[in-house]
Amino acid sequence: MVKLLAISPAQGLGLPLAIGAAHLSEVDPGPVTSIAPFRGQEAALSRALGGAALPSPGRVQRMNEGRLVWSGPGRAILVGVPVPEGLSELAAVVEQGDGLACLRLEGLAAREVLARLVPIDLRDGAFPEGATARTLLNHLAVTLIRIEPRAYEIFAMRSMARTLVHELDEAMRRVAARQGAV
C-alpha cells in the first residue's frame, strides 16, 4: 500500500552541526497545536486541559506530558502531545506543527552565537530557563525557548529552514573563530 512519506523541515541541510563550543541539531517537537480560547472560555479550557492554565507572556507551562508555550496575546501552543478532544467549542484549535522547523542550539557558546542574531536580552535575569520569546533572528520571526542553562530551542517557519541553518552556521563560525585567535 503506497503511503505518503513525511520529510522533516531541516532534512538535507547538513545537521547536526558542531562548530567550536556550539552544537546545532534538528528536533522533532511532536505535535504542535495553537490554542486560543474564545471570550470567557479560559476557565473551561483550563479544565479541559487537565487543570493547566495558559501561560502568561514569555513563559512555558510544563504539563504531565507536553508543555504549553506562550505564543501571542491570548494564545499558546501545546507542544509534544496531541490536543485533547472536545476543545473546538472553547477555543480556536489550529495545527501548526507542519509549518515549523524546530532546531536545538546548545553549548558553552550558544548564548554568544544567539547574540549575533537575536536582538533581545539573553542574560540569566532577563531570559532564564523556562522563558520563551517571540522575536527576530536576523530577518526571521522565531519563537525562542531556553530549555536548559546552555540550550535553546528555536522555532521558525518551515519554508525558511535553510536560511535559519545558514544564519546559525555563520554565527557559530564567527564565534568559534574568535576562540582560535591570538
Partner 1 sequence: MRVANKGLTQGARVIPFTFDGRGYSGLEGDTLASALLGEGVRLVGRSFKYHRPRGVLSAGSEEPNALVTVEGVPNTRATVQEIWDGMAARSQNAWPRLELDALGVNDLLAPFLGAGFYYKTFMWPRPFWERVYEPFIRRAAGLGHLSGKADGAPFEKAWAFCDLLVIGAGPAGLMAALAAGRAGADVILADEGSRMGGRLLAETDPVDGRAPHLWAESVLAELAAMPNVRLMPRTAVTGVYDGGTYGALERVGLHGRARADLPQECFWRIVARRAVLAAGAIERPLAFPDNDRPGIMLAGAVRAYLNRWGVVAGPRVAVYGNNDDAHRTARDLAQAGLKVAALIDMRGEARVEGAAYPVLTGARVTGTSGRLGLRSIRVDGLGGPRELEVDCLAVSGGWTPSVHLTCHLGAKPVWDDRLQAFRPRDGAVPGMVVAGSAAGRLTTAACLADGLRAAAEVLGDLGRTVPPMELPAAEDAPHAVAPFTVGEGSRQFVDFQNDVTVKDIRLSAQEGFQSVEHMKRYTTLGMATDQGKTANLPAMAVLAEALGSPVAATGTTTFRPPFVPVPIAALGAGGQGAGFAPQRFTTSHEASVQRGAAMTEAGLWYRPSYFPRPGEATWRQACDREVDMVRHAVGVCDVSTLGKIDIQGPDAAAFLDFVYANTFSTLPRGKVRYGLMLREDGFVMDDGTTARLGDRHYLMTTTTAAAAQVMRHLDFVAQVLRPDLDVQVLSVTEQWAQFSVAGPWSRELLQSVVDADLSDAALPYMGCAEVEVMGVRGRVFRISFSGERAFEVAVPARHGAALWRLLVAQAESLGGGPYGLEALNVLRIEKGFITHAEIHGRTTAFDIGMERMVSKAKDCVGWAASRRPGLLEEDREQLVGLRPVARSGQLTAGAHLYGRDAAATRVNGQGYVTSVCWSPSFDTSLGLGFLKGGRARHGEVVRLVDAMRSVETLCEVTDPVFLDPEGGRMRG
Partner 2 sequence: MRVTCPYCGERDRREFTIQGDDTSLRRPGRDAGAEAWHAHVHLRDNPAGRLREMWYHDPCGAWIVVERDTVTHAVHGSVPAREAAR
Residue whose CB is less far from partner 2, 10 or 155: 155
What residues numbered 57-76 form the site for partner 2, per CB under 8 A?
57-58, 71-73
Which residue reads 546559525 in cell numbers? 168
Which residues share a beta bridge with 22?
A: 19
Q: What does 133 bind: partner 1, partner 2, none (CB cut-off 5 to 8 Å by kind)?
A: partner 2
Residue with cell 540569566: 124
Please identify which residue in the block is written with the cell numbers 591570538.
182
What gap in Å lies between CA 132 and CA 128, rounded to an integer?
9
Question: 130: closest CA among 111, 145, 108, 114?
Answer: 145
Q: Return residues touching partner 2 (CB under 8 A).
A: 57-58, 71-73, 119-120, 133-136, 141-142
Q: Which residues bind partner 1 (CB under 8 A)?
A: 1-9, 12, 34, 36, 38-39, 74-75, 91-92, 94-100, 115-123, 126, 138-140, 157-163, 166-167, 170-171, 173-174, 176-178, 180-182
